[in-house]
Amino acid sequence: MSLSSEALDQLLATVARFVSERLVPLEEQVAETDHVPDAVIEEMRQLGLFGLSIPEAYGGLGLNMEEEVRVAFELGRTSPAFRSVLGTNNGIGSQGIVMAGSEAQKRHYLPKLASGELIGSFALTEPEAGSDAGSLTTRAVLDGEHFVLNGTKRFITNAPEAGVFTVFARTSDTPGAAGVSAFLVDAGLAGIVIGKNDVKMGQRGAHTADVSFEDCRVPRDALLGAPETGFRTAMKVLDRGRLHISAVCVGVAERLIGDSLRYAMERKQFGKPIVDFQLIQAMLADSQTEAYAARCMVLETARKRDRGEVVSTEAACSKYFASEMVGRVADRAVQIHGGAGYIADYGVERFYRDVRLFRIYEGTSQIQQLVIAKNLIRAAR
């Protein structure tokens, strides 16, 4: 489903106002306390932000991909920690259910994920299986009407808050990706241990932790999709997630360009605002050009996906370019701010640390390069 252009404009304006009036003023507090206030989360729920990508039939807003990335551009214009609170419910924590869930699973989980009553989390990565996700060793062994799960997952976003995990586990001795199945595991089950929150470089307020399964008995009907199709589900979910993350990178870049421009117009050196110096202008122009290129890539990929095309390559191109781009834009933002960019008061140094994650999670830049090249070569053969 897609919204009328008036409804979309209204949604974008509402999100933009929420970001600038409610979230931006709280950025420093959230970074200091490592906590997004409950009242803000409640407002996000009221705005429907947990269910952007969940079909209307299950209580979400049912946005198409183009609409979703346009909302993500707006959400990107503040600390990424805020987006992370609702990111998994719109992406990796719900889309496996949307794509591969049974009707009963959809009815059970999606309305609660859409309302934000339940937080969804995606448990793929393991201590010894990061980029090589197909080598994961968590096992699920059928025992009567239950699967028994054993293994440890690492760096799991929103694990401390999660109500349901999409867990990828090996159900056969077939090596590699082919032996992996997906499960919907309720966080309250016995045998699940959530580690302490990871201490991270940035994005304070967004939480990750280890999740261990110790003889955790999961009902047989928690299997998501057909047995041993879990890896493919994970890849499809990540194709989509990578595009959403690319859109967030664009939003952050645009925010940083705005902040840099404003600072350069106020800051005077050699008797005039530094924005009048061409070396500053060059940095602004490079950042604007790259952010615009990423915006175009994201929108074009989203539109292709909405037309039903497979966009694995384009999503990887977008994630690769946009996440590297925002790193360069943040670096230039620090440079334009000079000494002020290196101290905490202006927030630019915080963004510089926050954006570093974009080149790593949901597939590193190097994994995006491999996906792009692999698809090119496959098409050529």
Residues with a known catalytic role: 362
Q: How far apart are CA 182 and CA 171, in angstroms?
A: 9
Beta bridge partners of 142: 147
Smallest distance from ligand COS to CB 157, Å: 7
Minimum Å gap between C-beta 108 and ligand COS is: 23
The answer to whether the CB of 121 falls within 8 A of the CB of 84 is: no
Query: By C-beta, is 190 or 377 nearer to ligand COS?
Result: 377
Q: Which is nearer to ligand COS, 19 or 159 (CB)?
A: 159
CB closer to ligand COS, 242 vs 332:
242
Backbone phi, then psi, for 124, in 5-degree steps? -110, -55
Closer CB to ligand COS, 223 or 316, in the complex? 316
Give the separation between CA 199 and CA 208, rounded to whole angstroms.
9
Q: Which is nearer to ligand COS, 73 or 361 (CB)?
A: 361
Interface positions with ligand COS (CB under 6 A): 122, 124-125, 131, 133-134, 176-177, 231-232, 235-236, 238-239, 312, 361-363, 367, 370-371
Distance of closest approach, residue 22 Cβ to ligand COS, in angstroms? 27
CA 112-68-186 angle, 5° bins: 25
DSSP code at position 78:
S
Task: Specify the residue, 78 or 121, whose C-beta has the smaller distance to ligand COS.
Answer: 121
Residue 298 CB, shortest distance to ligand COS, in Å, is 17
Q: Where are the alpha helices (DSSP H) in the chain?
A: 5-18, 27-33, 38-46, 65-75, 80-90, 95-100, 103-115, 230-266, 278-306, 312-337, 339-342, 348-354, 365-380
Give the nearest distance from C-beta 314 to ligand COS in angstroms. Answer: 11
Nearer to ligand COS, 90 or 312 (CB): 312
Q: Does residue 85 contact residue 41 with C-beta atoms inside 8 Å? A: yes
Cβ 211 to ligand COS, closest distance in Å? 13
Q: Cβ of residue 185: shortest distance to ligand COS, in angstroms?
A: 16
First to last CA, the chain: 36
The dihedral formed by the CA atoms of 83, 52, 245 and 228, expressed in degrees to the nearest 10? 120
CA dist 378 → 240, 336, 368 (Å): 21, 43, 15
Neighbour count for residue 254 (Cβ, 10 Å) = 22
The maximal CA–CA distance of the chain, rounded, in angstroms, is: 80
CA dihedral sign of residues 86, 90, 92, 93: positive
